[in-house]
Amino acid sequence: MITKEQILHALSFVEDPDFKKDLVTLNMIKDIEITPHKISFSVVLTTPACPMKDHIEHACRNAIAHFVDKEIEVSINMTSQVKSAPNQQLDNIKNIIVVASGKGGVGKSTVAANLALALHLKGAKTGLLDADIYGPSIPMMFGVEGARPKASKTTDGKTKIEPIEKFGIKLLSIGFFTDPNQPIPWRGPMVSAAIKQLFNDADWGELDYLVVDLPPGTGDVHITVAQNYPVAGAVIVTTPQNVALADATKGIGMFMMNTINIPLLGVVENMAYFTPAELPDNKYYIFGKDGGKRLAEKFDAPFLGELPLVKSISDAGDNGYPIVTDEDELISKNFISIAEKVAQQLSLQHNIKEVQKPDFTQ
Ligand SMILES: Nc1ncnc2c1ncn2[C@@H]1O[C@H](COP(=O)(O)OP(=O)(O)OP(=O)(O)O)[C@@H](O)[C@H]1O
């Protein structure tokens, strides 16, 4: 009869490519069961959006075949347990991810919406908080304009706001509480109070990831979020033009300030190129090439991917469904890949005690 020790010995030769350690040392192997004709076990990854999931499963099967038994049936349950960001005091929310841009209109909300949904589609419990006080566009992108979240009383007498649920994720937007036809002169204390309510008074339930769509630029919302909540990391969205890149550089600079110190998860280059429908193999870099990549390099941050300028992205947003919900759309793969990289970066960061910051004074 095969023993548990034999299985663990075999799996100690399987390395997690991100953590550069074997699965047994990383304590990722659970629930080993052995019968005369079958062995089964679980591999507990640090995120359901792990881009290495298939690779790791394949390596486990090879290791069992090589070190234990070539013939035996092997059943592997690839599961995950998302870790909480360090110092996370909102104990039901494991990771807060902010999506930011320097300049407006570069596709930050589009990326935030599709990132949140892509994480959900990979199996993570996800919420999306639209904190863009100047132009909340998440209600339109999810087809829930005019929704008014219910407020309920908890047993200890506190009021809890119920997020709106759509496409499997929980949503709250500053737009649910304001009149779109009535401009609001947002002042610092008002901003701070509104943002804190969206975080603290909402019944988010258990979340692996809460994606926060910030307003463009660097302002009161950024400071409120950064100073009150332990943000796990920031995703920066830019287009390739120099003006957008210059503004994105300032945005990144703010996250790196000592008083704020939010790790950079990476850069997304949106509207990177245009491909006409009749010439699908042609890419026209109408706004310049590789600006986002260079920005990522400058800050020693991961480049998360480029997204083309595609009419279907804006049509989907205007029609109330983020494009990633349509799995037949080629562009959905780009968003899934970006989400996987974001989740991967978070998992890596939780394993690095001290995040190294580039010297911003040079
Ligand atoms: N890759 C793309 N291809 C085509 N249209 C896009 C793309 N990305 C975003 N858009 C469209 O561009 C417009 C602006 O996008 P979005 O609202 O996401 O930008 P933003 O940076 O959040 O803007 P704001 O500064 O108002 O917050 C939207 O109509 C959106 O559908």
Q: Is 108 labeled as ligand-binding?
A: yes
Q: Which atom of ligand 1 is nearest to the CA of 213?
A: 22
Give the HSE-up count for residue 301: Cα atoms under 13 Å, Cβ half-sphere.
Answer: 31
Distance between CA atoms of residues 146 and 132, nearest Å: 16
Measured from CB, residues less than 6 Å from any atom of ligand 1 are: 101, 104-110, 132, 135, 137, 216, 270-271, 307, 309-310, 313-314, 317
What does residue 314 show for φ and ψ, rounded to 5 degrees? -75, -35
- Determine the pLDDT at residue 88: 62
Q: Which atom of ligand 1 is nearest to the CA of 104?
A: 25
CATH 3.30.300.130 residue ranges of the chain are 4-80
CATH number corresponding to 93-351: 3.40.50.300
Compute, in angstroms, the gap from residue 298 CA to the centroid of ligand 1. Answer: 25
Residue bearing the CA closest to ligand 1, atom 30:
314
- Determine the pLDDT at residue 89: 64
Given the cut 0.90, state whether the ipTM is greater than it: yes
Residue bearing the CA closest to ligand 1, atom 26:
105
- pTM, 2 dp: 0.92
- Determine the pLDDT at residue 356: 39
| Paired tokens of 156 | 């200890």
Q: What is the pLDDT of residues 169-186, one digit of tens each?
A: 999 999 998 887 777 777
CATH number corresponding to 4-80: 3.30.300.130
CATH 3.40.50.300 residue ranges of the chain are 93-351
Query: Which among 287, 312, 314, 323 is the best mutation to test ligand 1's pocket, defined by most ligand atoms within 8 Å of the CB?
Result: 314
Angle at 91 between CA 86 and CA 97, to 5 degrees: 60
Closest C-alpha among 15, 90, 29, 86 to residue 352: 86
| Paired tokens of 328 | 């037949």
Residue with tokens 């807060």: 96
Indicate the residue type of 304: L
- Determine the pLDDT at residue 355: 37
Along the 362 residues of the chain, how does pLDDT read in single tens digits?
899 999 999 999 999 999 999 999 999 999 999 999 999 999 999 999 999 999 999 999 999 999 999 999 999 999 999 988 776 667 789 999 999 998 999 999 999 999 999 999 999 999 999 999 888 999 999 999 989 999 888 888 888 999 999 999 999 999 998 887 777 777 878 888 999 999 989 999 999 999 999 999 888 899 999 989 989 999 999 999 989 899 999 989 989 887 888 999 999 999 999 988 788 788 999 999 999 999 999 999 999 999 999 999 999 999 999 999 998 888 999 999 999 999 999 999 887 543 333 443 43
Residue bearing the CA closest to ligand 1, atom 15:
107
